[in-house]
Amino acid sequence: MPVIRVTLIEGYDEAVRDRLLEGYSAVTRTVLEAIPDGITIAIEEVKQSNYRRGNQRKNPKAPPPAPEQIVRDFLGAMERRDLAAAKTMLAADFAMTFPGGASFAKLEELIDWARPRYQRIGKAYERFDTVPGMESAVVYCFGTLEGVWPDGSAFSGIRFIDRFTVRGGLLVDQKVWNDLDAVRR
């Protein structure tokens, strides 16, 4: 039964500490196949006044939002067509790839490409899975699409998976798989 001790500079809020504890638990379960009740993780805090690096006092940097939250916020902004808000979540080299190999670097290109495909589209989410990495996190979201075809008829229940890479609190890429074209035919 693993016991993991983590030391943080004081000042991180409870939500961040919870994310850290959940992450350590998930990694430990994956690497050691430990049962949840067999994993003990303790966070110890060092007072800011007792911590120096490079002989200078340091304060903890506020972490970015959870990668899943960044993805949810982006998808929400896109569904509302709030491109200004969506763009604030993108890395400078952001790239998107959609079914059929359609690739875009700008959100306006995506909107133009989608215009003849449907009048409106929305997503119902079944789940989000986050895979942490050393340089970035990968977030998968799964669910179904619903909306209105160009002729005004409704559609729903069309499967999709989106894969996002999140680095430094920004979206680096989005890869999309869905059955929209198969259903439309």
What pLDDT digit, counting tens, does each position of 1-47 carry?
Answer: 889 999 888 888 898 899 999 988 988 888 888 888 889 999 998 88
- pLDDT at res. 57: 81
Q: What is the mean pLDDT of residues 119-134?
A: 93
Query: Which DSSP state fits 61?
Result: P
Q: Which residue has the higher pLDDT, 155 or 55?
A: 155
Q: Where do the domains of the chain lie, and which CATH numbers do they carry?
A: 3-57 (3.30.429.10), 67-184 (3.10.450.50)
Average pLDDT, the chain: 92
pLDDT at 92 over 90: yes
Q: Is the pLDDT of residue 148 over 80?
A: yes
**Digit-coded pLDDT (tens) for 45-71:** 888 777 788 888 877 778 889 999 999
